[in-house]
Structure 1
Amino acid sequence: MKARLRHIFHKYVAPKALVLMYHRVAEPESDVWEVAVSPDHFEQQLRVLKEEYKVVPVRELVERHNKGNIKRNSIGITFDDGYIDNFLVAKPLLEKYGLPATFFIASGNVGQPGEFWWDELEHLMLFSDSLPATVDMEVGGERIIFDLKEEAQLSNSLQQQHKAWKACEETPPTKRSQLFYKLWENLKPLPPAMQQAQMQQIRDWSGVAVAARADCRSMSRDQLQDLGRSELFDLGVHTVSHAALAFHPPLVQEKEILENKNFLQEIARNHVDLLTYPYGNYNHESMAVAGKAALKAAFTTEEKVIARSAHPYRLGRFQVKNLAAPEFRKQLQIWKYSI
């Protein structure tokens, strides 16, 4: 009976923490993965967190978890990837409210003029005015044959459908979005050099002149250095190429993680010893590499609270969507009592 009561206490009553996952603070033309929060909504969310919760550095939250000493109502804030709006928009707002955050950076894109491949692919496939009607190419070892028919030309109706589409929750509503999703699936597991070669093949097929959008860039090294030396912020590992780790052998995983860690450690104020798995994609080998790299914890994209029993290399996070304060407050309550 006592064992049963202890189980109930630790499951429902014992203190738990939430770790929030952000990517962008921006208003892009489309957001099929729901990773962007508008600056206005982000500030509203920060007010809620400041007034109603205890926002702590993620490294402190991890230390408390490892010691079995989680404080009730604790929340950690994380950002993935390293978009430029993290520096230009999120950083000033976090400083305004005095809230700490950890930025997990895919270092291969730092200071580069181009976009992340998935952003470029989304813009190219869903918003190009004109595309060839037919596709016949090999991507990721699979031959893809597709006929866009009348959707080769972008109509206003098509554009609106693409802006409203949420790829994590809805099936692709158009032929263009079906093609985009198929290409995304096939590109995601590839090694970075092959990924870029296949993207060039897609660019060549499209015939569209590629011009990287300024608001989709990553931070520069100087901006990242400014961020990493702030007492309020920390930097964390997110691999060099934003690799879907479980698709790669252990030596590739180790290279992606260690090179990323070493790059960030050169410019960070604190030890770089936390990891987030790109796409939430990992396996037991990824966890073993994290241990070998002396990382204290690794975060997934699984929506789980940080409880005492949580594995340090399998900690959960909750993706924050573009919610105003009332909806955000309700969502936090739902997350707080999830198991």
Structure 2
Amino acid sequence: MIKTLMSLASPAGPRARLSILIFHRVLEQPDPLFPGEIDRATFDAICTWLKSWFHVLPLDEAMVRLKRGDLPARAAAITFDDGYADNEVIALPILQKHGLPATFYIATGYLNGGRMWNDSVIEAIRLCPNGTLDLNGTPAAALGQLDMGSIEARRTAIGAVLSATKYLEPGERQQWADALQERSQAVLPTALMMNSAQVKALRSAGMLIGAHTMNHPILARLSPAKAEAEIADGRDALEALLGEPVRHFAYPNGKPVQDYDAASVAIVKRLGFDSAVSTAWGAASAGTDLHQVPRFSPWDRSRGRFGLRLLKNLIAGPEARL
């Protein structure tokens, strides 16, 4: 039933629509702190569903065919953002098992032992050995004392800190994360992100590698010069690593206006990327700007609900863009 409705919503040819799914991590086991995060078993099930409903294409092929107007019915692509090590360790074998291609957008500043600022916040609170976390006298003093007394309290604390820091200037954001780590007295993991060999392994396995800046900043909050440096330097690092052009880009955070702006889009086009993806919901159509392509993944965990939400996204109105 779902497949039939998807065929009607996305027929082959000029009226086709392209569904692009976005993922970040695939965990070995469910995370008590974030039970909604995708784990191995859930991702394996999702891949089974996607293969039964869609023609899953490599993203570069999908973009060419979208522009040309000859996509197959129920076209889709799979993407991952940021460059987490579990993408290569856990997600890749599952993708290979199902014969599915995917694109991995890498924030190169965190390769080889780096850690994204938000993960520093999450792990500092997760691993804090104390019942409270006192932030008075730190850059995060406005949050006062955070309750660490339960998993629910820690989850609430993480949400509060991330909300307060997400749109700060990158240097100030890192100061908050560093202060949290120092006050928490936690030893944070250093292998959350991929190393260079893992990025190469993904490419050798036939997966596509895309750029995602160096340090995952909010591009709309940067000067044009700083934004261009982040985008270009991230791409150049990947090209040096892989020995080939990197033609596709993902905007960090990815919401139009809020996270990237017209200047960001102009930079991406000027740097010669073939496509750029956002996190605006929707499915791409013949009229989509290839440098503002929407993406969406349902949060449901049952086959029926996951499929129906994908169908709803597929038939939704024009995607949000600048």
With normalisation by structure 1, the TM-score equals 0.80
Q: CA deviation at 1:138?
A: 3.4
SS in 2 for 1:235: strand
| Correspondence for 1:56 | 57
| Correspondence for 2:99 | 98
Identity %: 24
Following the alignment from structure 1 to structure 2, what is the Cα–Cα distance between the partners of residues 249 and 213? 31
Following the alignment from structure 1 to structure 2, what is the Cα–Cα distance between the partners of residues 269 and 42? 30
Following the alignment from structure 2 to structure 1, what is the Cα–Cα distance between the partners of residues 243 and 305? 35
| Correspondence for 1:323 | 301
Tell me the C-alpha RMSD between the 2 structures.
2.5
Aligned positions of 1:61-210 closer than 5 A? 61-112=62-113, 114-125=114-125, 128-130=128-130, 131-133=132-134, 135-139=136-140, 144=142, 146-148=144-146, 151=147, 154-155=148-149, 158-160=150-152, 162=154, 174=156, 177=157, 180-204=158-182, 206-210=183-187
Q: 1:274-322 CA deviation, whole Å, 9 max, x = no partner?
A: 1111111200110011011101111111111101111122110003436
Does the 8 Å contact 1:81/1:105 carry over to 2?
yes
The answer to whether residue 217 in structure 2 is matched with residue 243 in structure 1 is yes
Q: 1:167-222 CA deviation, whole Å, 9 max, x = no partner?
A: xxxxxxx5xx2xx4443234333454443333222333x241323164xx111101
Q: CA deviation at 1:269?
A: 7.0
The answer to whether residue 208 in structure 2 is matched with residue 230 in structure 1 is no
Q: CA deviation at 1:253?
A: 0.8
Following the alignment from structure 1 to structure 2, what is the Cα–Cα distance between the partners of residues 243 and 133? 27
Amino acid paired to 1:125: I
The answer to whether residue 247 in structure 2 is matched with residue 273 in structure 1 is yes
The answer to whether residue 299 in structure 2 is matched with residue 301 in structure 1 is no
Following the alignment from structure 1 to structure 2, what is the Cα–Cα distance between the partners of residues 229 and 133? 47
- Unpaired runs of at least 5, structure 2: 1-8, 318-322
Instruction: Tell me which of the two structures has the higher relative contact order, counting C-alpha pairs closer than 8 angstroms and 6 or more residues apart.
Output: 1
Paired residue for 1:337, among 315, 318, 321?
315
| Correspondence for 1:254 | 228
Distance 1:282 1:129, change over 3 A: same
Distance 1:68 1:126, change over 3 A: same
Amino acid paired to 1:129: P
Does the 8 Å contact 2:297/2:310 carry over to 1?
no
The count of corresponding residues between Structure 1 and Structure 2 is: 299
Does the 8 Å contact 1:236/1:275 carry over to 2?
yes
| Correspondence for 1:15 | 16
- Unpaired runs of at least 5, structure 1: 1-8, 164-173
Distance 1:87 1:147, change over 3 A: closer
Distance 1:43 1:197, change over 3 A: same
Larger radius of gyration: 1
Does the 8 Å contact 1:19/1:317 carry over to 2?
yes
SS in 2 for 1:242: coil
